[in-house]
Structure 1
Amino acid sequence: MTTRAYIFDAYGTLFDVHAAIARHRDRAGPDADRISELWRTKQLEYSWTLTAMGRYENFERLTERSLDFALARFGRSDPALRAALLDSYRKLDAYPDAKAALGTLKQAGAVTGILSNGSPGMLQAAVDNAALGGMLDHVLSVDALGFYKPRNEVYALVTDAASVRPEEIVFVSSNRWDIAGAANFGFKPVWINRANLPDEYPDLKPVAVINSLSALPSLKF
């Protein structure tokens, strides 16, 4: 089946979620990396917990709540640092390989887009900051549904928006659980495994594993 669309997760895939703490490492102190890791872990945990309960708060609010927990866990009650980190999270750096990969795919005539848990305002700020807007046909947020990945209805946002069948879509994510969700829905998932992590979800495998987005345009499906 011909691939017609390449859809990307945003956070951790196109945008570096640890870029916010990196900009304020000195202010965050010796636990900066652990704060960032816990911030990300709780952000995802809250999204899954709320979805399992049939409740919803947008991702911007979950990002604030998870940062509050991480800062409290490491004894960093600093309103100015909190504000700076949240501002930086809205303006995350794109990975160095993101723009070139998107540009190559667009030149080849593919439909490109983002499917993310992120709130629309967060996503637009990140896309604008990284100057990726001209390379994306769609920027899709779960906000339209009121629940989070990996529910099937979230992935269906892509097929509805792009008028493309699941088997014609390559879905790229750095999150192995997201790859499992995409495989379950019927996409062709590509796992970008920058950290060389062991595989999970053996029954819901990616069609390819790469460690850089620069490898994506040359893959044949």
Structure 2
Amino acid sequence: MIHKQRHQLQRLFSIFIALAIIAAAVLPAAAQTRRRTRRATPRLGTYSRQARTAVAPRSYSVNTDQTIRVRMNDQLSSQTARIGQRFTTRVVEPVYASGGVEVIPAGSTITGRVTNVQRAERRSKAGTMTVQFVSLQTPNGRSYPINGSLTDVSGETVEYDNEGQVKGRSSTKRNAIFIGGGAGTGALIGAIAGGGKGAGIGAAVGAGLGVAGAFFSRGQEAVVKPGTEFGVILNRAVYLPQYR
């Protein structure tokens, strides 16, 4: 009996030794594999740190009073236009920031909206439209908000009183409006002379128009046709990346 029990104990001891040997061989290899897996899997914080260190594209300033030459895409008329109506223009000439960096390429789109409309009522009152420019989209699809006003780009700025007579040169750059009566284009670009109530219309003759066209402007609707060129003057600086 004692011999049989001793034999069983020897068998159990042999099994225990065998299991210990197997464990000693397997466990270190498993631990090493786990350490390799941990090293190969980057932590979430690593990506966050890399994202935070990414360099943002440099912005360049296009200053207040910069004039952007544009060409009308749509037709706009004081007879049918509504307040809030949007229209688009296409940039004719590229705009460069300081250092000669191109930020607004030709072909960019500037969107405007109608802020006020007056239809022609009598022979002595031409139709007018006030507009504002609100956004810029470059050909690569990126859009930027802007604050721009209508201005003339012909350099032939003249002012008219309420009788339609030439008073002299005007230096008005902002708060310009489209005024009915321009030969060929159907609209002049101008402003209220003196800015007071009941004052006459101060108009800048649009590109390609003669001064004589203004004498026949009263009582006509302001019609801005596709292809008409004029200027957008920035009321606030805008910061843009280099166009690529």
Q: TM-score range by the shorter chain?
A: under 0.3
More strand by share: 2
- Higher relative contact order (Cα pairs below 8 Å, separated by 6+ residues): 1
TM-score by length of 1: 0.26
TM-score by length of 2: 0.24
- Mark the structure with the bigger radius of gyration: 2
More helix by share: 1
